[in-house]
Structure 1
Amino acid sequence: MEVSVTKMSSNGQVVISSDVRKALGLSPGDKFLVIGEEDGIVLKSLEKEDIKHEMEVLLSDIGEEIKKTGISKEDVEKEIEEYRKEKRKEQ
């Protein structure tokens, strides 16, 4: 496993070190799935044909977590509407 330290630019760009790029066979233009975790960020290199599958798996996992909470679609829609009303008042 290759490990390196990097920083994020003001534009949100992160440089992946050449050692890591070489070890993983990464090239300019490669696509990544970006997953925000509680304690960090996961970048997963994707092939174009993998993107749809990875998103389906991710959305399925999210759906399972939502089911565990007992939150309904109506609850989510209500929260979104309340948030939008709040934001409109701030403007």
Structure 2
Amino acid sequence: MTRPSTTKMSSKGQIVIPEEIRRRLGLRAGVQFVVVGDRDVIILKTVSAPDEEDFVDLLADARKQARKAGMKRSDITEAIAAARRKR
């Protein structure tokens, strides 16, 4: 872990992640974060898409679980249509 740094929040709610931390973590402009706040703690977690192999594995597992639960394609189509109607 590195030495703590300080930063300030702008009037627009923006903060600057110190350069040393950005460099060490390989953060570039446009990176997305999940932000979690509780009391006086804020956690930033980078969000990234899984690589193709991981995605294929996740999809295969989801299909296996759906078959095990007795789901059909029509169940999925109906669930998507219902969710879109709620918008």
TM-score, normalised relative to structure 2: 0.52
> Contact 1:31/1:47 (CA < 8 Å) preserved in 2?
yes
User: Could you say which structure has the higher helix fraction?
Assistant: 1
Q: Please list the CA deviations of residues 38-89 of structure 1 after superposition, one character each: whole Å capped at 9, or x if unmatched.
A: 222111111144xxxxxxxxxxxxxxxxxxxxxxxxxxxxxxxxxxxxxxxx
> What's the counterpart of residue 39 of structure 1?
40
Partners of 1:45 and 1:7 in 2: CA distance = 20
Q: Which structure 2 segments of 5+ residues have no match?
A: 51-87
Tell me the equivalent position of 1:16: 17
1:58: which partner in 2?
none
After TM superposition, the structure 1 = structure 2 runs for residues 53-64 of structure 1, keeping only pairs within 5 Å, are none
Local SS of the residue matching 1:21: helix
Q: Which amino acid aligns with 1:12?
A: G
Unaligned runs of 5+ in 1: 50-91
- Deviation per residue, 1:4-63 (Å, 9 max, x gap): 1101000000000110000111000000000011222111111144xxxxxxxxxxxxxx
Distance, in Å, in 1 between the alignment partners of 2:46 and 2:5 is 17
| Structure 1 segments (4+ residues) deviating >6 Å | none
Comparing both chains, which one has the higher relative contact order based on Cα–Cα distances under 8 Å and sequence gaps of 6 or more?
A: 1
Question: Matched residues in 2 for 1:35 and 1:45: separation?
Answer: 12
Instruction: Give 3-state SS (helix, strand or coil) of 1:35's partner.
Output: strand
Question: What is the RMSD computed on CA atoms of the aligned residues?
Answer: 1.2
What aligned pairs does 1:58-77 form with structure 2 within 5 A after superposition?
none
More moved, 36-45 vs 8-17: 36-45
